[in-house]
Structure 1
């Protein structure tokens, strides 16, 4: 049967299974298809947007975190403003209404996430490269969600204003720290996937973008002079550099990975961030650790116990923490098949997740 003879209800079902580009292209094939789209314009586009760039709740929170701070008549401290922004984010319902303006902003971030989805297999199977493959649909959702969480944290707490206001690490002695308040809203499964994404970012910096002297010397037989032209140092000074570079957003990292090739180009990009960029380290990893310790204190099974990344471990060194293998961004080939209703799926059990 020709698609032109399908009922309106069936056409709407087709629209709901399309991604954003396919839905827009389908609407352009005939006046009837366009009228079907217009009949349920926002719901159909919202579903298509989720299919392309979801999960929508995490993407919506990223958009909020990227909004410029409004200047009022009265001076308001950085802590008050950031706490107010965190309040907006953590109180946002998953089914918040979407406007065309909001979806347009979501698309701009979603496109960056899609580029990360394409290159992520290079990092996920960096060691086990013989099994490298494209991410499945539910794995792409996990990947995008981890990226959105990472990016939201960068926008809120790794910018120059906040790092100058509070350059110290979050800790248990400051339970109302806005950084901890944000991270507490993530389920344990989300924290594990975010931690895995963060580990891949660290490897991207240390191996591909800003390698240390030891990395270059281990892979090439270069003279010390040649190593100095490529590498970025060693020891404590290099560790401080990596900690600073972890404040880069996914957009920064993507640009550096795809458009820079020499130490000079990457040094110029780093200098362009300003001197204040190197004054304070990234704090996301510490925030995740603090929240994990809190959950372990309340529930021994609630934290990131025996954290294990099969993506970063040679097959000959595989441990027995199979329960943690299930948490990863990409399915491990040795685990059971993906089941949407499994409590350890890409959404996970959100019981006990703090909203404060």
Structure 2
């Protein structure tokens, strides 16, 4: 029996059973009858439901997208569903999807790299929720134009009210994500001089000083090699793959100072939203690229003079709730709570 012969009520149930937006679209485009079987409003509901399953929680994306100066941040907003909103939600979800792929690399490093694995569905959802909420925090308090001046006392109240609207488990997930972003920033975007030095092959370490002192750099190494940036016909003959941005950055990124300087730099970079940090990861090769991005995005010559207050606010809220924050942080990094919960997996 052909599907076109099924009753419209049964076909509607078929659409409702689909778990992803591409599946719904593909079935709709099969024929004109399937395209017209559901009204647009019903399709829109199915799209949002499917997105919540694959990239949700969509509710947190909507709170991020509907921030405005006329409403308190911690009050939930319920805008009408529309295809324009759906398009914006999809764009935000795409960023979170990348972090689901990157998280294992920067969560399990060094001796812990043997534990590296893909996130399961529950862990991925917790990670996405933390991303959307950290993004909301950054957008409200650190993105230009500012919701309220950073020196205004009402900013402190709003920041704490926003964090108080989330449970302890939600805040643990955000701290887990914050630690992962610190690792990404410290190793990829603003590595220390020592980190850069450790990447230089032993037989080339005599050139290490040229990374920090350009006037000592040999002329041929002043810029990335031509072959690093472009392909030519000879590359195809020898099956030479074009290096990734991350590989080029490993060769050409300069150090940003000592370990102590690095700590404060990372806290400044955490004022950026997860989308901006991801852009830096995907597009910057040299320190000058990062500095140019900071200038273009913030127009703030004192960017490094102020730092993200998320961790301080996190401590304030949990202390007020009577939580042992030192124990909580140990539990997060040992995998007993947060995004990756080994206790949950053992059940």
**TM interval, short-chain normalised:** 0.7 to 0.9
Matched residue SS, 2:66: helix
8 Å CA contact retained: 1:216, 1:231: yes
Change (3 A) 1:175 1:102: closer
CA radius of gyration, larger in = 2
User: Any stretches of 5+ residues in structure 1 without a counterpart?
Assistant: 68-80, 313-317, 319-324, 338-356
Give the counterpart of 2:45 among 33, 43, 46.
43
Render the CA deviation track for 1:97-155: whole Å, top value 9, x for unaligned.
52323222211211222222222222233343344333222222111111000100010
Distance of 2:30 and 2:83 partners within structure 1: 22
Distance 1:104 1:43, change over 3 A: same
Residue 153 of structure 1 corresponds to which residue in structure 2?
137
Q: Does 1 or 2 have the higher relative contact order (CA < 8 Å, sep 6+)?
A: 1
User: Where does residue 55 of structure 1 map in the other structure?
Assistant: 57
Instruction: Please list, as runs of the form range in 1=range in 2, the aligned pairs for 1:92-241 lying within 5 A after superposition.
Output: 92=76, 97-127=80-110, 128-162=112-146, 165-167=149-151, 177-220=157-200, 221=202, 222-223=205-206, 225-228=209-212, 230-234=254-258, 236-241=260-265
- Whole-Å separation in 2 of the counterparts to 1:218 and 1:45: 48
2:329 alignment partner in structure 1: 307
Runs (4 or more) in structure 1 with deviation over 6 Å come to none
3-state SS, counterpart of residue 265 of structure 2? helix
| Partners of 1:19 and 1:328 in 2: CA distance | 27
Q: Which residue of 1 aligns with 2:237?
A: none
8 Å CA contact 2:141, 2:155 repeated in 1: no
Pairwise CA distance, 1:33: 2.3
Is the 2:190–2:256 Cα contact (8 Å) retained in structure 1? yes
Contact 1:213–1:234, Cα closer than 8 Å, also in 2: yes
Structure 1, residues 246-275: CA drift from partner, whole Å, max 9, x if none? Answer: 112112111111122222322322333331
- What's the TM-score, normalizing by structure 2? 0.75
Higher helix content, 1 or 2: 2
Report how many residues are paired: 298
Aligned residues: CA RMSD: 3.0
